[in-house]
Chain A
Amino acid sequence: MPPVVRAESLTKRFGNLTAVDDLSFVLQSGTITGFLGPNGAGKTTTLRMLLGLARPTQGNALIFERPYAEIEQPALRIGAVLEATDFHPGRSGRNHLRTLSAAAGIPDSRVDEVLKTVELDGAANRRVKGYSLGMRQRLGLAGALLGDPELLVLDEPANGLDPEGVRWLRDFLRSFAGSGHTVLVSSHVLAEVAQTVDHVLIISRGKLVRESRLDELTAGMGGAVRVRSPEAGKLREALERDGIASTEASGALYAQGTTSERVGEIAAASGIVLHELRVEQSSLEEVFLELTSEKPE
């Protein structure tokens, strides 16, 4: 199957500044990919090039193997939100969506459907200036969903959301991807998307520094898998036999340089009961910071 998104040596220069530097990656169908990096790393510029809003200085930005502008009826295949605030404040949420659905020949009944999906049907006829930031985020998402797309591209969708909103978004993205759809979601905070994404693309200063499955991110990076077991000693020996070092702290084992899959398999092979098995958040964050920190040249 051809990739859904393909960036080939994508480069964008603004004068002397190289915002995106020879970036290449592909996204496969059915994946949720976190596009991560500190603010100013070039995430938004990359998304703008993928979506045909900005022209690459060099390289190609392809979706479904074509430049965005050459896709017939792109809104029926790709949904995207770049800014949470892209509304005329004096227009109602419903009319905002109607300006978009009309352009794509989408019937008004679909407008009401997506309003219900994002739980804005009650506020649909109110002007956007009275919406909270969370409501605006959801209205933007509703616009992206109008065409029932296969690919969703969201730039920093969790910015400004309260914990309940973040959770709503996470559940939504999971169910969206669960039906075989593809998601590319950017963030400057790994923890925000760590529970949602299965792949990560990490960029720093316009360059790709890491592309991997989320659960492999810590492998070989000094990360740890946290595991609790009533048979901790036995598990530790089993891990050691497999060449995996572990340390014990506050009632849990921390296995170094491995994956949660591997630890689980070893435990199962040895018939060891596990009470908890997860990649340690803090070490994910450490890896992220290590990969993206400004290194002196």
Chain B
Amino acid sequence: MIPQIRAEIIKVRSTRTTLGLVLGMIAIILLFVILTAWLTSVGEMSGREQQRNLFAIGSFAGLFAALAGIMLVTGEYRFGTIRPTYLFTPKRSLVLVAKVVAALIAGFVFALVGEILSVGVGGVILDERGISVALSHHDYTLITIGTLIGTALWGGIGVGLGMIVRNQVGAIIGILAWGFVIQNLLFNLVPSVGRWTPDQAQNGLMGLTDAHLLDPGVGGATLVFWTVVICAAGAVMAARRDVN
């Protein structure tokens, strides 16, 4: 098991894909943090609700972790390296587990960067505007845990999704459409269903306060559940399907 994980970590680190994702993530998180912290009125920004939302922007890392997970699998199919990968490790479930572990680690690192940006840069801007932080220690803890664990799990979800879809472009378009459109629509139109999506489960885990969100514990469990289900489906499909 450990050799396979090492191999997957070398894969993550030996192309520029990961670096590109991290740079893209930094740019987007910085943009949202700066816009939110500067442009929201002092009155609104002084409230806990809005400060929570600001510091949770780091969880945007989840999308990039999911993309990294997707590429770790679909890149192998796109460039054919899946053949040597399976020749060296014919137990395909072992390859999948190793990829999930590598993606969890990558996701965790992504989340650290995102968290430092949102809390650090967001905090500096609030300070600059003379707004005092209204969040409690508990609020901070939930946002941090939710960002770190949630983002890591998104890496795993990306791996499972990549195994199911295999086509790189299809999987990327799918996760973008889901994250930006479908799950948002679902949550806004039918919140009783939409809150169970992995996206809103993570928002629940971070302690965000929309009335419809799940409690942090239930949200975390729901996100873990989705990760396990999607990866298990990916493992079943990987075992059954021929490699061309």
Contact surface of A with B, Cβ cutoff 8 Å: 48, 51-55, 68-69, 71, 74-75, 78, 80, 82-83, 85-92, 95-96, 98-100, 102-105, 143
* Chain B residues with CB under 8 A of A48: 242-244
* Chain B residues with CB under 8 A of A74: 87-88, 90
Question: How far is B242's CA from A102's CA once the two chains are assembled, in angstroms?
Answer: 24
* Chain B residues with CB under 8 A of A102: 3, 6-7, 10
Question: How far is B243's CA from A51's CA once the two chains are assembled, in angstroms?
Answer: 11
The one of B3, B16, B75, B90 in contact with A69, judged by C-beta atoms closer than 8 angstroms, is: B90
* Chain A residues with CB under 8 A of B85: 99-100, 103
User: Across the two chains, which residue of chain B brings its CB closest to A104?
Assistant: B88
Answer yes or no: B17 CB below 8 A from chain A CBs: yes
Interface secondary structure of B, over-half rule: helix
The one of A85, A91, A100 in contact with B88, judged by C-beta atoms closer than 8 angstroms, is: A100
**A91 with B3, Cβ < 8 A, contacts A71-B90, A74-B90, A80-B87 known:** no
**A88 with B81, Cβ < 8 A, contacts A95-B10, A95-B14, A99-B14 known:** yes
Answer yes or no: B86 CB below 8 A from chain A CBs: yes
Query: Are B86 and A98 in contact, CB atoms less than 8 angstroms apart?
Result: no
User: Across the two chains, which residue of chain A brings its CB closest to B90?
Assistant: A69
The one of B4, B88, B91, B244 in contact with A75, judged by C-beta atoms closer than 8 angstroms, is: B88
User: Across the two chains, which residue of chain A brings its CB closest to B243?
Assistant: A53
* Chain B residues with CB under 8 A of A71: 90
Query: Are A99 and B11 in contact, CB atoms less than 8 angstroms apart?
Result: yes
The size class of the interface chain B forms with chain A is 20 to 34
Query: Are A75 and B14 in contact, CB atoms less than 8 angstroms apart?
Result: no
Answer yes or no: B130 CB below 8 A from chain A CBs: no
Can you list 7 pairs linking A and B with CB atoms under 8 Å apart?
A53-B86, A68-B90, A83-B83, A92-B14, A96-B81, A99-B14, A143-B84
The one of B7, B11, B84 in contact with A86, judged by C-beta atoms closer than 8 angstroms, is: B84
The one of B10, B83, B90, B242 in contact with A99, judged by C-beta atoms closer than 8 angstroms, is: B10
Answer yes or no: B136 CB below 8 A from chain A CBs: no
**A91 with B14, Cβ < 8 A, contacts A86-B79, A100-B7, A102-B6 known:** yes
Query: Are A52 and B83 in contact, CB atoms less than 8 angstroms apart?
Result: no
Query: Are A86 and B83 in contact, CB atoms less than 8 angstroms apart?
Result: yes
Query: Are B242 and A88 in contact, CB atoms less than 8 angstroms apart?
Result: no
Question: How far is B14's CA from A102's CA once the two chains are assembled, in angstroms?
Answer: 13
The one of B16, B90, B243 in contact with A54, judged by C-beta atoms closer than 8 angstroms, is: B243
* Chain A residues with CB under 8 A of B7: 99-100, 102-103
Question: How far is B83's CA from A53's CA once the two chains are assembled, in angstroms?
Answer: 8
* A-B residue pairs, 8 tightest by C-beta: A86-B80, A103-B7, A95-B14, A54-B242, A102-B7, A69-B90, A53-B243, A90-B15
- Residues of B58-106 contacting chain A, CB below 8 A: 75, 79-81, 83-91
Query: Are A53 and B15 in contact, CB atoms less than 8 angstroms apart?
Result: no
Query: Are B86 and A52 in contact, CB atoms less than 8 angstroms apart?
Result: yes
Query: Are A53 and B3 in contact, CB atoms less than 8 angstroms apart?
Result: no
Apart from A91-B11, A100-B84: 10 A-B pairs, beta carbons within 8 A: A53-B87, A88-B14, A88-B81, A89-B79, A90-B17, A98-B14, A99-B81, A102-B6, A102-B10, A103-B85
B237 to chain A, nearest CB (A): 13
* Chain B residues with CB under 8 A of A100: 7, 84-85, 88
* Chain B residues with CB under 8 A of A96: 14, 81
Please indicate which of the listed interface residues B7, B14, B83, B88 has the most CB atoms of chain A within 10 Å of its own CB. Answer: B88
Question: How far is B88's CA from A269's CA once the two chains are assembled, in angstroms?
Answer: 53
Question: How far is B88's CA from A143's CA once the two chains are assembled, in angstroms?
Answer: 10
Question: How far is B84's CA from A69's CA once the two chains are assembled, in angstroms?
Answer: 13
Query: Are A88 and B75 in contact, CB atoms less than 8 angstroms apart?
Result: yes
Query: Are A85 and B87 in contact, CB atoms less than 8 angstroms apart?
Result: no
Please indicate which of the listed interface residues B80, B87, B88, B91 has the most CB atoms of chain A within 10 Å of its own CB. Answer: B87
A142 to chain B, nearest CB (A): 11
* Chain A residues with CB under 8 A of B91: 69
B39 to chain A, nearest CB (A): 38
A14 to chain B, nearest CB (A): 9
User: Across the two chains, which residue of chain B brings its CB closest to A95?
Assistant: B14
Question: How far is B86's CA from A48's CA once the two chains are assembled, in angstroms?
Answer: 11
Query: Are B90 and A52 in contact, CB atoms less than 8 angstroms apart?
Result: yes
B138 to chain A, nearest CB (A): 42
* Chain A residues with CB under 8 A of B75: 88
* Chain A residues with CB under 8 A of B16: 90
* Chain B residues with CB under 8 A of A85: 79-80
* Chain B residues with CB under 8 A of A105: 3
User: Across the two chains, which residue of chain B brings its CB closest to A73?
Assistant: B88
A84 to chain B, nearest CB (A): 9
